[in-house]
Structures are given as structure tokens and as C-alpha cells.
Chains A and B, each alone.
Chain A
Amino acid sequence: MRWGALLPVLLFAAGLLALPLLGPGFAALFPDVAEPLYRREAFGTLALAHAGLVLASLLPAAAIGIGLGIAATRPGAREVRAVADALVGFAQAVPPVAVITIAVPVLGFGAAPALLALVCYATLPVLRGTTGALATVPPEVLDAARGAGMTPRQILWQVELPLAATPILVGLRVAAVLAVATAAVGAVAGATCLGTPIIAGLVNGNPAWVLQGALLTGLMAFAVDGLLGALAPVSASPP
């Protein structure tokens, strides 16, 4: 655990606490705006809802991504890998706004369409990270494991996953940062999150609100990156 990695978390917390006190500052920055500080919901409430969205999408994305990644790397599962790649590649090729707009008539307004888009988006880096991580396990180690008489399940749990854990965590970290950024778009479908001030600002011609939402979303992305970076001390480069 590197404590330096927690700096972004402190920064995000500081942003959350300081922003409500900065009304005069935003008034000076945007003199034409009648209501310079977003007050419809507390920033803390928005941040909590945002984090909830991220967590609720990250868990299924991790389960799907790691599960598919493991399935795709089993011997004799080339087809699974091709299908998984195509499926998730397609899911990511569609922009999140499009997923949300298409999903709204089916799932209604609110968090559900946002969650769908987020799961689609976060799964790919987890899947890529998992297949890539499992591919780094040296073939002679797998040969030795089989030769020692481990069952495929024992090889997976005792050898492959422990050896691949760090790169898998890196994939999760990329997915989490991506999810924090993408979750803001959920506000389009009416999901409460840090994107809400952005959408409200855009609709009402209030750039101060847009700035406040964007600032906190960015800080939260940094915070999540730092937090997971402390667990997996490898730089999170996109797969």
C-alpha cells in the first residue's frame, strides 16, 4: 500500500467539502449566471449516487469480464474467445449515449439504462485485462502444474489466478476509471449522479453548474484510480 496513491482521494474529499463554500468565487467567474452554485441536491448526495452507479455496474462487469476471460482462455475454447471479443467489442463500439437512448424506452428513465451502458463499457477492459493476464502465465509453469497432477480447477485457482491477479486488477482499475467518467452520462436518462449538474447546466444555460459537475467527476475518477492503484501498483494504461 503506497500512501501517496491516496492523495487523489483526499483531493476529491476536499473538493466535495470546499465546493459549497465557493459560491462567491463562481459568482465572480460567471457574473451573468443568476444562480452560480448548484443547490438542487447536495454534492455529497450526488457523489454517493455516482459512486453507487459505478459500483453497481463494476461488479457485474468484473464478474462478466473475468468469467468470460477465464472461459475464453480454457484449452479448446477458441470459439468462446472469438464470440466474447466480438460481443464486447460491439458493446464498446456503440457510444454510451446511444446505449442509454436506446435503453430508455425499454428500461424507462433513471438508473437502469445508465447501468446497462456502464456494464457494456466496463466489461471490455476487464475482459481484455483478464485474457491478457492469463496469457502471461508461463507455459512451463502450466505444464508443471498439469504434470504434478493438479486438476484444471486447481490449476486455475492455485496457479493461474494468483499469478494473473495483478494484471487483472489493472484491467479492473481501467474499467473503474472509465465507469466513473461514463456514469456522468447517465444523467441524460435521469439517473442521479455527478452528471446531473452538468445536464442541468446545459439545459439551463448555466456553465457554472457544468463546471462543478465536471470538476467533481474528474476528481472522483482520479480518486478511484489512486485507490485501486494502491492495491495494484502498476500504471493503468488502457488495454
Chain B
Amino acid sequence: MASKLTRSNRAGWLMAFPGIGLIAAFIILPFFLAFAFSLTNQRLASPNPTEYVGFKNYRDLLGLAVFTLEPERDDAGNAVVEDGEIQYPRLRTFTRRNPDYPHLEGKREWFSWQSGENRTVVLASDVVFMKALVNTFTFVLVVAPVQAGIALGLALLINQKLRGISFFRAVYFMPVVVSIVIVSLLWKFIYSPGDGLLNNVLSGLTFGAFEPRDWLGDTSTALGSIIAMSIWQGVGFHMVIWLAGLQTISPTLYEAAEIEGSSKLQTFRYVTWPGLRNTAILILIVITMQAFALFAQIDIMTQGGPLDSTQVLVFQAVERGYGKQDISGGSTISVILFVIVLCISLIQRWLTRERN
């Protein structure tokens, strides 16, 4: 088989060569380079020779430890309580040059919870990376279903034979055509604290009852704000894919459903949705991958702040690789991201496989 593939398709391979060559040079080769770099201390610019460091970069990113903090005790052995709060020794006394706790050296608190008098702390070697990981997953988990859902809703709305419907199609599609950099700058103005556009609109709608918020400067709203603008920007593209899917469904099926007297909901459930199956799989996978690659919005609007509430993996990879000239660190994040996306794609493929 293989020999036939190479021999009788010589012209085919020749024509495929430019494409395959480019993919190999710009996607496959860099990936293997990234994996190789992640095992070294490669810098962006340095007169020092590159050294093999094994899995150190992975340990530095993924290292975790659990530590139980006991409260400070007075002479009688009771926990010291001030202002109703149990007092604990500072973590830095354990994590900084304390020979009794070598496994905690250089680690920082990621999160903690109370268990009785004690406080259990989860420490991470790289808290920023851990936060980036959690934020990225949050972003994907919200954006994938919501964006796909809204896009489907819009596609159903504009899949009608009305006068001027192409005007609406163009309007919904417009944010996709505008560069994400421009969109991010515009939304930065919209989210501007104090008398920004969004604050103004909301307080106008509520007759002044709305308290202006610092959308991008508040840890509780920053990621949500980015999610909202990302969905607004990306939804038109997926709407068009849904629309293409909708238009492949044969009108005869709808006619048959109408004759059978099915309601709108039933028609959607038993005609439209099964017809969109393959489109749905495609959209789910595409949105998931795009969402994992979140970068431009973060770079322009928040730089990962405030307090790491919008750190994401790709931003961290770029920040380390280029900003901090640590190519090996950036490569390591890229490899981890690749493994995550690969696993999720395989799971999605398995979940949406054709069942016979």
C-alpha cells in the first residue's frame, strides 16, 4: 500500500510538497524544538552555553505541596485569637531558608482552607502558572458552550427569508472582521472605570441606581469582562458556520415536519438538531482550541492583572519566553498546553464518535 501511495501519486506528493513543507517548517519543527528547549535552560539571548536540565522546568511549574499551619499558641497552649481571628505564623518563616522544611523552599500559597484550629495550605512552586491554568480552563468552560449557544441562536434568527436579512448577517459578522487588537482597545474604553461607556449606559438604564464599577481593575469582574468581549467578538464567525450547517438541511424535511403538524420546538429537536450534528462537533472543537489560545485580549487589556485574575497560559508563555528571555520556561508552558489540548480533543472525539 505504502509503495503504491508514493509511486503512483508522485505528482500528488509534489503538489502537496509546498503545503507540507511549510507545515513542517513552521508548525512541526517548532513543536519539537519547543519540547527540546523545555528540557534545557535555553535563553533568548545569552553568551552562556545551553545546558540540559532534565525535567527541572516541569518541576518548577508543576511542583505542589500541602502544609498544615498550626495556630500560634500562648504559654497555656491555647490558640492566640485577635479580633476574632486565629493567628498563624507567617508562611514565609517556613518557605524561606528554613532547613527544617526543604520541600517548601521557594513555594508560595496558592489557596488554603480552615480545618478546625489548623489551616491547610496548598503551596505551589509557580502560583502564577497555576492561576493561569485555572483561568484558562474557566475561560474555555464558559466560552465554549455560551459562544456556541449564542451563535446557534443568531444563526436561527438570521436563517429566515426576510427582506434585508443580509444586513443583519453583515452586522453580526462585523466584529470577526475587525482585528482583535482594535476590538480589545475599544472594549478597554467601554470598560473604563468611573465614567466609561458601560458604566454610563448601566447607570442611565437604572436611573443612577447602578454604582460604577472598575470592570478590568477588579479581581471579581476582570475575567468575566474579558469572557464577555471575547464571546461578542467571536460569535459571528461560529454563527456563519452554524448557518452553513442549517442550510445543508433539506427543506423537504421541514415540509414533512410541518405536514405532520410538529411544533417549532419539535422541529428543532427532531429535524434541525440531528442535522447539525457534524457542525456541532466542528464548532465545539474549534471554539475549545481558540479559547485555549487566548492571548491578545489579555495582552492589551489587563496584562494578566489585577492580582493574576486574568493570567492565561499563552500570555504566560509569551511573557516568559520573550519578556523575560526565558525560552525554556515559555517552551515548557507551550508543551503543557499542547498536551492539555491534545487530551481534550481526544476526549471530545471519543465522546462525539459515530456510535453504530
Partners in one complex: no
